[in-house]
Structure 1
Amino acid sequence: MEEAEPPECPVCLQIYDAVSSIPRVLTCGHTTCEACLKQLPSPFPNTLRCTVCTLLTKIPNSVSSLPKNLDLIHFSSVLQHRHPTEDKKVISPSSPPENGKNQSVLFPLTLKSWSYEFYCKWKKWVIPKDCISIEKIGLDNDGGVVNGKVVKSFESDHVMGFVLREKEDVGLVKVGIFVEGEEDSKLFKSSYESSIVTVLCGMKEVERDELEIILNVTLRVSNVGKAYGFWYNEDDKCVYIVWQKFNSPNLMNCVLKKQEDEAERLNSDEISGLGMLGMEMCEILSNLHLEGLVIGFLSVSCFGFNDFGRVCVDLSEVLNAGRRVNMALQRAHKDLDVNLKSNLLDENLAFISPEMLLQFVDKERFEFDWGKSIYEVRYGSDVWSLASLMVWLIVGSSFVEEMESFLHCVFNTIKDEKGCDYPDVWILTGGNRPVITELWKCLRELVIKPQFDMGVGLKQEVKKENSGRCVVLGELCHVVEEIDKELIHGLQGKDKKNGADMELRVDGDVVESMTHGRVKCIDMKGHLDCITGLAIGGGFLFSSSYDKIVNVWSLQDFTHIHSFKGHEHRIMAVVSVDEEQPLCISGDNEGVICIWKATFPFPEEPIKKLYEKKDWRYSGIHAMAISGTEYLYTGSGDKLIKAWSLQDYTLSCAMSGHKSVVSTLIVSDGVLFSGSWDGTVRLWSLSDHSPLTVLGEDKLVNIASVLSLSADHNLLFVGHESGNIKIWHNDVLLKSIESHKGAIFSVNKNGKWLFSGGWDKTINVQEISEDVDGVDVTPVGSITCNSTTTALLYWHGKLFVGQADRIIKVYHGI
């Protein structure tokens, strides 16, 4: 028979003694050495979580004042003298494993096609939906140009010192369409942020990387219209990039004014003025080239002026002009009789380099070795386009006539199915073109005579074009259309594929199915008044109502099985005890508690009725919670929380502290949380029912009643009457989010997903992510209901929703 070992601390494994490892007894009855207790974190003032049972227990002013376990000290001393042992190595205290069964079912790891890291990367570019409104939508023949206006001021966190000002004009360029699955009943609606990120995720990685480069380049290059971010228009399901617009006259107005006096030749001052404009254009393009960005074509409408008269590039107009040019070329590609001069020069005033023209017209038919081909769209393409634009400004309509013959020559060559040699007009392509700095020097001579140019003697080494990767802005004009087609065709193909499996898979997790828009709903009817609570136990669903009845439902086919009828007043709450002997417990607004046996066959009468004392101020039970098989807790209108023993059904104690009705109760990790109409949440120890701390007590004005609670380990989610959800970590407020328009009657957290519902007839789904900086909340989507949501419960992939219209809805996937 083995002899007994000396008792040791469960944390550091040191043998207990009266000097270095003194055993201290906690209020829960377990013992840990004093040294380890001093190292444990204190989540709330004067509290510690037991290392054995994980209960949160109250301690006096210091750990040293806790009582010593004299029996363990004596027993350890006797055994050590009888069998000396070697000192054991001390290890650092670690978090104890959690005991007990985990009754909750966690959500799957993937709800959507994009990850949380992907969302964090792009969320800084998301503009709130109520900031922008569409002012004008163009016609199809002009590319459907969309202009917007700032409705609500917004300060950007990625553009230093920049603010979207109210009533400011902005440019809108479509980058994609958010397409949902076509179902007979679309119950789930993706959130605003989720719609934007889903469209970005639907792009090819190369296209998305190029888009990111374009956005970042606009922040670094001066005299270029800034990109503010992405905005989603729920009316047309389109995601737009919001761009800065210049209110000053653009180059188009200057051109129109010049055309009135075209018969007269330009004088030297006018030529010098055009030379200055050209130099500023070269400087802008040069800076863009240094960042790896090529426009690919230039239109007169792309240039504007800032408040100081400097030339600026309006990138929103660049993209919209590219759309118009692309549409014109596609029409010309189908019809030989289309007047290219009218479509490209008169209407759009666009000058496209030959290689960019090839990209626009028939990109897929021609495959070149882009590293060697002179027909690759590179930085020289902008030189060609800018030089053509400057010559046209100086020469006038005669240059347009020459460009018309050039366009027909190139276009007919491209349309030749046999493949002809390219015309001689392509002589200034690829490496034969000068760099942008050489063009800048030529234009400088129109402004400053060489003998008076102070910088002519400076020896500057002309750097060759960047041989690395370049992003062609003009290609984005038709990439967007390709993305839209891929999204729509891909979704249609997925719908067809899923349709084939529809009969095989008739039930699925509601969270998994939200991504595909395949959420179905089952109505459970049987109550005659507002639903007040939901609970699951013993394999059944229990629902309480103002109709004074607790209904029992099958979780297999969602049919009504039985009705508990024992209350004479409105039932306010229901809970279940899912242990060896399942119980259903309900409480009404007159303080009557009915305890029912929750096994088949169901009884007609409760096995026990409990009665709370009441006075003239009393307004009955408002909330209930249970702690295993030990206690039933009730929150009442008399501001008290009462603990009822589930062993002998007697009142154990009453906890006071709240200043108004106790409206909600939950039990989690050895702590009882109570919410009240006084706007506070109080925490109580389950071991001795002593108060631990108070959350929200410091707020004296604009108090919002607490109506719902949900806890998940160290996080607490509090639903308020104001529509806000506050997230607490122990006694620290991490975040307050405006989730609903009106009171939040129910909050339910499972895994990393948070459901909430209330007065606004909407169930919001949000993803909760913890990191070193705190907690982040990602809106995923919403489910629109036809009545106020009063209760929420997630179980095995199904979401049970109690409503004020007497109906219980079961949302599930297919």
Structure 2
Amino acid sequence: MEPPECPVCLQSFDGDCTVPRVLNCGHSACEECLRSLPKKFPDTIRCPACTVLVKFPPQGPSALPKNIDLLRLFPSSSQNSLEPGRNSKKPVEFVTRSWPDDFYAIWKDRILLHDAVSVEGESKGSDFSLSGRLGDDSKVSLLRVASFDHDDCDSVLKYSYVQRMMNCLWDMGEEERDELDTIISVRQRGVSKVFGLWGDLKNGILYLVGEKLGSFSLEEFENLTEDDSLRLAMIGMQICEALLGLHKERVITGCLSVSCVKFDEFENAYVDLIEWMETGRNVHRLIVEETVGAREMGLILVRLLQKGIFVSLEVLFGLLKEDNMLIKDASSKYLVSYSSDVWPVCLLLLKLHLRKRFPEELIESLNCVDAKGCEEGIEDFLVLYTCIADKLSSMIESEPGGKFKPMIEILCQCCSLDPQARPGLTDLWKCIREVVVSPRLSSVIGLKKAISGKGKDYRLVLGELCRLVEVGSKEVEEELPGTENGSDAGESKVDTDFVGRLSKGKMKSKDMRGHQDSVTGLALGGGFLFSCSLDKTILVWSLKDFSHVHTFKGHEDKVMALIHIDGAEPVCVSGDGGGGIFVWSTTFPLAEQPLRKWYEPKDWKYTGIHALAYSEYGHVYSGSGDNTIKAWSLQDGSLVCTMTGHKSVVSTLVVQNGVLYSGSWDGTVRLWSLSDHSFLTVLGEETQGIGRSILSLAADEQTLVAAYQNGDIQIWRDDTLMKSMQVQSGAILSVAVNGKWLFTGGWDKTVNVQELSGDEMSLDCTHVGSIPSSSVITSLLYWEGKLFAAFADKTIKVYYNGR
């Protein structure tokens, strides 16, 4: 075996250079390491082995005793078992949560606040406005992306807004989330902003929220002049720039409509992502409603043209192949790629340039082909698009050339059925630029390559978000939303059934009744739940079926504090408002009389015992209204010592890691050594005052939580303040912490559930949900996935996972 070594520097003790010094907790470290360890508080130090805060002599480590025996002995195998947390049992989850921490970290900032979006009025239909939290109260467009359970009345735990949105997102498929992530992340010139996700709690709908820009009107170009043609060319140029920006994000549209073109206050053209997604859904609606043959395909193309929606050949074939399963190999060579965006841009520009003539002539040509195809039984879908290509070429060639001749020529090339034969968006952009910009300036500006690097391409029209349509919807026969004559995206009839339900973790409760007055405290031990009350009794409940099994009677005053002590002789200790401390045996069968009892000394201003705690040294600690903490021998009730320092009532006590923590109405937490009852340090001294009275403390491993009269909590880790926040609207009478779960309850009649996460440098406290009640919560206790709550209305409730 290797010789014993210092837990800090890992050097073997030799009695010369590495001298072992013994701390009050019993562990040893070398003298040099103890001298260099940080000392956060005067005359105290944290043991490097067990992290207990212990007294440290002002003279330095040389004043500590030398561990002579350690120089001769090897470490025992049982020493490591003293380290806190080594044999700790894994805590049981209170709330069943399927999504991991990294998922929450990614999506939490993309969920808008629940009050960020508000409906302006019933008469305005789908107009929504952002609150001042996101800017200047600007209008937004909404796209429905999911549904969630907006009525969780069968669960006593009302999940928080963020928790419900996270569950909804987690229940989505990975493809849907990837597409949402891509759309939200787009930050390109010429593309409308997407602010994030917002949940409508009233209707249970999750929306994608984007900025709302000015609509496009074809009426402005009824009588085109040369200036108007230049303006249309500028619009085409800006649309190309927007789509090229999407290509940088590896997004392929393959579909475009007049309604997708929006304008800002400077009349710059934008591609509206929300409107574009709704347009993609409109295409899906038309296709899933039809058993597509040549005749039906012709009808679909006619309706798309009437609505100003343009879809590239390869994208349309992809939709037919996936949704109708009628085309098996016909679309194999028409792969959807970045050149798929050239076709809809070309058709959109022709629509803007030719106006009414464009759809009328195309529809007439399609009707002729459709009638002929039906007579001959032709099922070749390419005939329809060949007709479109030929007709487009003839329409373009009939236009006068002049200044716009290069642009007309490249539009003819864009009408090719083969994506590989079409010019790229960059080529189309350059051609339009030569029409708009003077050749002398042409060499000064340029467009960088759109795509670089590796990554996944998102063909969104063929993706999952656009497929979220309600099959069999009657609205298909009505005016399609998302088109030039339709309504806004907020009125979409799209429905989706991947519901982010919280039914996986429904919380149930059971009542325990028996007290005749308000319940004041709870304790667990020996297979029983103990509850004390203002009715001067302690009730004993079975943890198997939560039935009442016994009553301890004997107190002459209201019982205010209660603890259970496991040991060779398990006992329950209770303290009352008259200063009485009673010790009850919890060995079955339960006795009627206490094993022993004693009373604190009191004067005219004494207000009784407010808190109890116990240490492994065999001492019971009482916090009382005379501002002191007293240590008592559990064996005979003799007074060991009195600890003074608080300036008001000592309201709560906690023992953890060899330290006694005392909270007081003076707003401070004082730390005391359990070995010699000496004062160690004080926390929260800078926030003293009646408005910051501490009413409850809870500790778990290295975490300490203090609850205040004004609804605030403060969380310390290793005696460093990590978080201070308000979690309730009234005084917090009780707080419980177990692992990552934090529970608070008090005057506002609500139990709030928080989840703790983070590391040594930071701490996050996430609101999971709340449990509303009809009475003030007086005490909380968490055990193996169950939460026990005591109320002022004489009841006790146990909350548990309904699964």
TM above 0.5, one fold?
A: yes
Is residue 420 from structure 1 mapped to residue 380 from structure 2 by the alignment? yes
C-alpha contact (below 8 Å) 2:728/2:748 kept by paired residues: yes
The residue type equivalent to 1:766 in the other structure is Q
> 1:223 aligns to what SS in structure 2?
coil
Give the partner amino acid of 1:581: E
Alignment deviations for residues 258-277 of structure 1 (CA, whole Å, 9 cap, x no partner):
4xxx3x4x221111111112
- Deviation string, structure 1 residues 215-266 (Cα, Å, up to 9, x no partner): 22x22x12322222222221122222222233xx3323xx2344xxx3x4x2
Match of 2:703 among 683, 693, 715: 715
Corresponding position of 1:637: 625
The residue correspondences of 1:798-809 to structure 2 (distance < 5 A) are: 798-809=786-797
> Aligned match of 1:198 in 167, 170, 173?
167
Match of 1:60 among 57, 71, 88: 57
| Distance verdict in 2 for CA 1:256–1:476, change over 3 Å | farther
Mapping for residues 558-597 of structure 1, pairs under 5 Å: 558-597=546-585
Query: Letter of the aligned partner of 1:422 in structure 2?
Result: L
What SS is found at the alignment partner of 1:799? strand
Q: Distance in 2 between matches of 1:582 and 1:207?
A: 56
Partner of 1:440: 429
Greater Cα shift, 543-552 or 231-240: 231-240
> What secondary structure, in the 3-state scheme, does the structure 2 residue paired with 1:766 have?
strand
> Which residue of the partner structure matches residue 624 of structure 1?
612
TM, length-normalised to structure 1: 0.81
Q: Do the aligned partners of residues 174 and 136 (structure 1) sit closer, same or farther apart at CA in structure 2, a change above 3 Å counting? A: farther
Q: Which region of structure 1 is more displaced relative to structure 2, 753-762 or 689-698?
A: 753-762
Aligned residue identity for 1:269: D
1:618 & 1:775 partners in 2: Cα distance?
40
Match for residue 727 of structure 2? 739
The answer to whether the Cα contact below 8 Å between 2:667 and 2:688 also exists between their aligned partners in 1 is no
Amino acid at match of 1:404: I
Q: Which of the numbers 469, 473, 476 marks the counterpart of 2:460?
A: 473
Q: Deviations over 1:309-336 (max 9, x none)?
A: 3222222222234334544554566996
Q: Which one is further off, 748-757 or 466-475?
A: 466-475
Write out per-residue CA displacement over residues 527-578 of structure 1, whole angstroms, 9 at most, x where no aligned residue: 1222211101222110011221110111122111111112222221111111
Match of 2:226 in 1: 268
Report what 1:696 is aligned to.
684
Q: Which residue of 2 is the match for residue 116 of structure 1? A: 101
Letter of the aligned partner of 2:219 in structure 1?
A: L
1:375 aligns with 2:375: no
Instruction: Give the match for residue 800 of structure 2.
Output: 812
Check if 1:286 corresponds to 2:271: no
Q: Which residue of the partner structure matches residue 241 of structure 1?
A: 208
Asked if structure 2 preserves the Cα contact closer than 8 Å seen for 1:51 and 1:95, the reply is: no
Task: Select 1:394's aligned residue among 353, 364, 371.
Answer: 353
Q: Deviations over 1:444-467 (max 9, x none)?
A: 354357xx4542799999989999
Amino acid at match of 1:664: T
Q: Secondary structure at the match of 2:564?
A: strand
Contact 1:740 1:760 in 2 (8 A): yes
Q: How does 1:174-213 map to 2 (within 5 A)?
A: 174-179=144-149, 185-213=154-182
Measured in 1, the distance between the counterparts of 2:448 and 2:37 equals 66
Q: Is the 8 A contact 1:755 1:763 kept in 2?
A: yes
Residue 673 (structure 1) shift: 1.2
Q: Could you give the per-residue CA deviations for residues 71-105 of structure 1, whole angstroms, max 9, x where no partner exists?
A: x65x899x8xxxxx9xx9x9xxx998526996866
- Of 243, 246, 251, 2:216 maps to 251
Partner of 2:667: 679
> Is it true that 1:131 corresponds to 2:116 in the alignment?
yes
Deviations, residues 397-430 of structure 1 (Å, cap 9, x unaligned): 121223435777999999x999534215245232
SS of 1:678's partner is coil
Greater displacement, 693-702 / 193-202: 693-702
Residues 225 and 243 in structure 1, CA contact (< 8 A), matched pair in contact too = yes
Change (3 A) 1:736 1:169: farther
Alignment correspondent of 2:183: 214
Q: Deviations over 1:274-321 (max 9, x none)?
A: 111211111111222232112232222322222333222222222234
Change (3 A) 1:282 1:370: farther
Deviation at 1:433, TM superposition (A): 2.3
- Matching residue of 1:727: 715
Contact 1:132 1:152 in 2 (8 A): no
Is the contact between residue 564 and residue 570 of structure 2 (CA under 8 Å) also seen in structure 1? Answer: yes
Counterparts of 1:316 and 1:411, CA distance in 2: 33
SS in structure 2 opposite 1:400? helix
Taking structure 1 as reference, are residues 486 and 446 closer, same or farther at Cα in structure 2, changes over 3 Å only? Answer: same
Where does the alignment leave 5 or more consecutive residues of structure 1 unmatched?
80-84, 140-144, 154-163, 492-513
Alignment check: 8 A CA contact 1:529 1:546 kept? yes
CA distance in structure 1 between the partners assigned to 2:773 and 2:298 by the alignment: 53
Instruction: Name 1:544's counterpart in structure 2.
Output: 532
Using a 3 Å threshold, how does the CA distance of structure 1 residues 466 and 382 change in structure 2: closer, same or farther? farther
Q: Are 1:487 and 2:478 matched, yes or no?
A: no
Distance 1:16 1:654, change over 3 A: farther
1:160-204 per-residue CA deviation (whole Å, 9 max, x = no partner) reads xxxx12522222222212248x99832233322222222222232
* Map 1:506-525 → 2, pairs under 5 A: 516-525=504-513
Equivalent AA in structure 2 for residue 810 of structure 1:
V
Match of residue 296 from structure 1: 254
Q: In the comparison of the two structures, how many residue pairs are matched?
A: 740
Cα distance change of structure 1 residues 122 and 576 upon mapping to structure 2, 3 Å threshold: same
Q: Kindly tell me: are residues 556 and 325 of structure 1, through their superposed partners in 2, closer, same or farther at Cα, counting changes over 3 Å?
A: same
Q: CA RMSD in A?
A: 4.0
Distance 2:442 2:726 in 1: 60
Going from structure 1 to structure 2, the CA distance change for 1:628 and 1:407 (only over 3 Å counts) comes to farther
**Letter in structure 1 aligned against 2:322:** K
1-structure distance, mates of 2:29, 2:453: 68
* Identity between Structure 1 and Structure 2 (%): 42
Contact kept in structure 2, 1:549 and 1:567, CA below 8 Å:
yes
Would the alpha carbon gap of residues 305 and 605 (structure 1) be closer, same or farther in structure 2, given more than 3 Å must change? same
2:366–2:384: 8 Å Cα contact kept in structure 1?
no
**Paired amino acid for 2:225:** N
Query: TM-score, normalising length from structure 2?
Result: 0.82
Name the SS for the 2:99 alignment partner: coil
- Structure 2 stretches of 5 or more lacking a match? 390-415, 471-493
Which residue among 275, 278, 301 is the counterpart of 1:320? 278
Letter in 2 for 1:795: W
Letter of the structure 2 residue corresponding to residue 236 of structure 1: N
Matched-pair contact (CA < 8 Å) for 2:317–2:331: no
CA distance in 2, matches of 1:132, 1:464: 35
Cα deviations across residues 713-747 of structure 1 (Å, max 9, x unaligned)? 22212222333332212232212233333222222
Q: Would the alpha carbon gap of residues 735 and 60 (structure 1) be closer, same or farther in structure 2, given more than 3 Å must change?
A: same
Structure 1 CA distance, aligned partners of 2:320 and 2:722?
54
* CA apart distance, 1:654: 1.9
Structure 1 window deviating more from structure 2 (667-676 vs 190-199): it is: 190-199
- Give distance in 2, aligned partners of 1:711 and 1:534: 16
Residue range with higher mean Cα deviation, 113-122 or 324-333? 324-333
For the residues of structure 1 that align with 2:369 and 2:585, how far apart are their CA atoms?
87
Question: Counterparts of 1:425 and 1:14 in 2: how far apart (Å)?
Answer: 84
Which is worse superposed, 114-123 or 400-409?
Answer: 400-409
Q: Which amino acid aligns with 2:207?
A: Y
